[in-house]
Structure 1
């Protein structure tokens, strides 16, 4: 198979760091690409000098690939560009790299810092006939996908998150859509909140087209990371803690606490790091060599995610008004 040309823009933790986050498991784009071995890393770009120096120190063999300016990207016909810069820069970066001619652009989540910019990104890439994926990496993580195949038929879902709408909430929204389909509407909880932003930890409800509600509780000021989903099914319960690093399945047990009553009991507890980077880069390589279609979160799904985030903000600013979500199929 042919080597796939690769350029990574943004050399922070997710772009080119996280070397010891989960042992030998690759937890960044650069680590996954080098682990795979099927990529020709042609350019690593970051404006921050310390980031460039760190990557150079850790990857002496890539010294000549590292630069500070997008103008040095060169031609990348048929290759892949990863954009791992802050979300408020995504639209500008996309605009600048289109002329390089990549076949695929992978952006870190969320797609942009606002809905208008997200729509612009997808429109520009569609016009240039460039595929796009947003790196909601749980779509490729083997453990998460194993539990996706065994997910309950949901009656209700409760999520708790911190670190803002654009961070953990966007991950949970993508997981919700990947597992259970279309979002019908969004409604913020509580009184009007005029001063909200993508960094806010809003509480809101999502009505799913499948006929159940998912309620998100946003909590700020925590001394720990919070990204959890509790799926209540008619005959089981599935709880994802720590973003899926711990997954607990519960099943009914008659007479567990009282004679004649049936309560849930822990059936299985699955613990392990959440990644998906290795599988993402394997899937991209096979796709670029015309072996299989590419899964993951495409531009349409990423736009719906952005619509949900935007709807939560608009609803919160307007006393909990219900906002319908348009689908992009």
Structure 2
């Protein structure tokens, strides 16, 4: 008969560690994992000193458009290609994306450049149908608390870039990431893209303080989207450089070869030439802050 002392000794041999985590987000917490996480896609890493820039148009519009932009940003040092195939829009009458055709064009752009593709998925059905041909699944601000989608993203073996909801607190943001982590998918990147405030001179208010705050409480990598945060290409450079200095692990920047004729978000998109000039400065700040690009 096993004594209480022998039973306790056996349990102690089986249990490697007990961690008491006060935060409601358990697996996202730094108490759960003290070392910064790294998400790597085809040899390109984000997190724990690895810095990467994700760039491309708000919407995929045509074969020539996405190929030209992909080649341009690749030559400027971007590590990932972003482009919207499915577009959640405020108005049902606005351009909703090229859908499956857009994904095929993104695949063609990857074939031409080698850049892994980041694109948004809006439903569990889309995730089931298209996850295999997307390198990084983006869950947008409007879907940050789409819990069925978060749970489904937790069951796939693909990196997920989760954007902060436009009115979400940092705790709510981290709790959303917890749904993905709790499902078994540890490849999560957080994206601060501005929050809604009373300010009207920018599209949103970029919360740069979210970077050090999240890094205090969480091990997950954080990227900044200055394009959606400001809504104006004139402010993207300054906010990008500030984000690098604040400790961000990457940037997500909209680039279009003809912003004035873009079908969506042209006002906030950089030209390829402006993006190239920005990347020179980003690399300088990244080097000063000890980031590897």
Structure richer in strand, relative to its length: 1
Is the shorter-chain TM-score for this pair beyond 0.5, marking a shared fold?
Answer: no
TM-score of Structure 1 vs Structure 2, range by shorter chain: 0.3 to 0.5
Structure richer in helix, relative to its length: 2
TM-score of the aligned structures, taking structure 1 as reference length: 0.32
